[in-house]
C-alpha cells in the first residue's frame, strides 16, 4: 500500500537531485574565464607602466650613485696627484738655489775662496768659468758642484793659472 508519505519521498529525492545538479551546473558556469573588459585592460596597462617606471627609477638612482662614486674617486685621485706634484716641486731645486749653494761651497774652500769663479746654472746644468789656482783646486770645484742636490751635470771650464 502506498501511502502519501512514501510517494513524497521519491519526489522529494528527485527534486533534491535536480536542485543539486542545477547548483553544480551553475557553479561550473561561474568558473569559466571571461574576456577582460576594457577597464580591466586599462588597469593592467597602468599597473605595468607604473612598475616599469619604478624599475627605471631604481636603475637611474643606481646609475646616479655610480656616477657620484666615480666623481668622488676622481676628486680623491686629483687631490693625491696634486699632493704628489707639490712634494715633487719641493724636491726640485731651482737654478738660483743651486748656483747659491755651489758658490757657498766654493767660498768655504781655502784654495777656491780667493778666486772669482763664475757659476751659471740652467735646468740643473752647471757651468764653472774663471781661474783656478791648481789642477787639484779645479777638480775640487767640480766635486763641490756635483755634490749639490739638483745638479744634473757640470761643465768645468776653469782655467788653471800659475800663481
Quote the pTM value.
0.45
Whether the CB-CB separation of 91 and 133 falls below 8 Å is answered with no
Q: If you search the block for the grid coordinates 668622488, which residue do you land on?
A: 72
Residue 33: predicted pLDDT: 63
Burial of 120 (0-12, 13-18, 19+ CB in 10 A): middle
Three-class SS of residue 1?
Answer: coil
pLDDT in tens, 115-155: 788 999 988 899 999 998 889 989 999 999 999 988 999 99
Residues 6 or more apart whose CB falls under 8 angstroms from that of 128 comprise 117, 118, 119, 141, 142, 145, 154, 155, 156, 157, 158
Amino acid at each position: 500500500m502506498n501511502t502519501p508519505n512514501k510517494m513524497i519521498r521519491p519526489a522529494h529525492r528527485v527534486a533534491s537531485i535536480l536542485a543539486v545538479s542545477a547548483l553544480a551546473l551553475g557553479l561550473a558556469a561561474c568558473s569559466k574565464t571571461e574576456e577582460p573588459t576594457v577597464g580591466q585592460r586599462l588597469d593592467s596597462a597602468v599597473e605595468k607602466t607604473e612598475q616599469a617606471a619604478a624599475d627605471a627609477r631604481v636603475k637611474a638612482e643606481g646609475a646616479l650613485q655610480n656616477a657620484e662614486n666615480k666623481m668622488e674617486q676622481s676628486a680623491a685621485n686629483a687631490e693625491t696627484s696634486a699632493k704628489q706634484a707639490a712634494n715633487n716641486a719641493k724636491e726640485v731645486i731651482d737654478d738660483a738655489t743651486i748656483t747659491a749653494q755651489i758658490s757657498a761651497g766654493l767660498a768655504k774652500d781655502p784654495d777656491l775662496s780667493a778666486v772669482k769663479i763664475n757659476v751659471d746654472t740652467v735646468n740643473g746644468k752647471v757651468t764653472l768659468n774663471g781661474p783656478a789656482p791648481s789642477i787639484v783646486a779645479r777638480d775640487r770645484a767640480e766635486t763641490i758642484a756635483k755634490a749639490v742636490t739638483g745638479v744634473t751635470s757640470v761643465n768645468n771650464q776653469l782655467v788653471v793659472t800659475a800663481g
